[in-house]
Amino acid sequence: MKTIILTIDDIRHIVNKVSLNGLMDEMIRRLTESFATYQPANYVCPPRAGFTYSEPHTGLVEWMPIMESGEQATIKVVSYHPANPDLHQLPTILATTSAYDTANGHLIGIADSTFLTAIRTGAASAVASRLLAKPGGGIVGLIGAGAQAITQLHALTRVMDVEKVLVFDIDPKTSNSFPERSGFMGIPVKTYAQSELDQLVQTADILCTATSNDVGAGAVFNDVVSKSWLHVNAVGSDFPGKTEVPLSFLQRSVVVPDFPEQAMKEGECQQIDPEQVGPSLVELVKRPLFHQYLQTTTTVFDSTGWALEDQIALNMMMDYAADLKIGHFLQIEGNSADPKDPFQFLKSKPKTIHQNGSLNGIKNGVVNGRYATQPS
């Protein structure tokens, strides 16, 4: 059986077909639907694990596995190398996600997930903000104005009216390039200097923190007097010791984790006692009216990034690929007619001889239904 590979060109092609707004709307819709019907007994989601190192540069490679019982296993491998933009002209985060059929272990598909990670992280904040922020929208503050800030803002614009956006980044170049990078959304941007950060926090109705704050570096903003309904999407904390939100703000707010077990190890929740942790995003989506009172208090969405979101994002792209007849199909795995003979496949004639730049018998294929694979 073949494996579908969605390259970055394939993903570009899909987004160009369905539009960025259409994609974000669909991601928000699928997340909401999956959270509303989520049954913990149907999933196994071990904590992510990985390698961290400081040579040759500070970095990590980690894997985030999840299994939907009787359906599929999904593993995202994500790496984080803060020196990438400067040294390699590469994104800080590189990621690919793979899906496996639990009926037989077949690798169904693999796709780039750097872009999908940003999309699903934005979409999750939109789902949380729709339920936790002041209804109707308002002013969005962004602390950290890199790639994640763009998708945070974009996702928010899809579920509320964003009047304007207030931007701060420790690197003024990043602040200054934000208006151009976010221009397609048509939201007025005001950039703030470090000395004006308290003002930004005081003015915002919704705040998104998406920084590369160092482990142990403390909060990225001061707990000044904010609007009494301020909602914070805390996106950057994803590692033991790495947090963004002041403890005092967490303690006077309701903290909603995406994936509680993980958030207590790696998110803002690690700063507070387990008894202080609020309802999870899933609980919120399942009972929105019950939790409506949270819109009038200060709240924090503790977004550490959940493998379920990655599975939903990958399946969405594979569905689009099927509809649009996009993607590369390769017979990666062995498929011996005699499973007891590891060398049997050597006797088959290769369909094409591929050498010296000739093409390799790769074809696009129509996939029928939900990320189905072609029979080989």
Residues 31-70 that bind a second copy (CB under 8 A): 44, 46, 49, 51, 53, 55-57, 59, 61, 63, 65, 67, 69-70
Cα separations in angstroms, 223 against 81, 193, 215, 254: 30, 17, 19, 15
Cα separations in angstroms, 158 against 64, 155, 209: 28, 5, 19
Of the candidate residues 41, 103, 225, 289, the single one contacting a second copy (CB under 8 A): 103
Q: Which of residues 133-172 bind a second copy (CB under 8 A)?
A: 145-148, 150-151
**Nearest CB to a second copy, comparing residues 288 and 365:** 365
Of the candidate residues 40, 105, 216, 274, the single one contacting a second copy (CB under 8 A): 105
Q: Is 89 in the site for a second copy (CB under 8 A)?
A: yes
Measure the CA–CA gap between 149 and 195, rounded to whole angstroms.
Answer: 20
Of the candidate residues 4, 28, 96, 310, the single one contacting a second copy (CB under 8 A): 96
**Nearest CB to a second copy, comparing residues 102 and 202:** 102
- Largest Cα–Cα separation, the chain: 74
Residues 6+ apart with CB under 8 A from 316: 26, 27, 30
Quote the tokens at residue 208: 């998104």
Interface stretch with a second copy, choices 25-33, 87-95, 199-207, 219-227 (CB under 8 A)? 87-95
Measure the CA–CA gap between 71 and 337, rounded to whole angstroms.
Answer: 25
Of the candidate residues 9, 33, 161, 214, the single one contacting a second copy (CB under 8 A): 9
The one-character DSSP state at 55 is S
Q: Is 118 in the site for a second copy (CB under 8 A)?
A: yes
Helix (H, G, I), strand (E, B) or coil at 265: helix
Of the candidate residues 32, 114, 233, 253, the single one contacting a second copy (CB under 8 A): 114
Interface stretch with a second copy, choices 28-36, 112-120, 240-248, 273-281 (CB under 8 A)? 112-120
The one-character DSSP state at 268 is G
**Pairing label, strands 161-168, 189-191:** parallel
**Nearest CB to a second copy, comparing residues 207 and 210:** 210
List, in sequence order, every residue forming a beta bridge with 302; answer none if it has no partner: 234, 257
Minimum gap (Å) between residue 71 Cβ and a second copy: 9
Site string for a second copy, 334-363 (x = CB under 8 A): xxxxxxxxxxxxx-x-xxxxxxxxxxxxxx
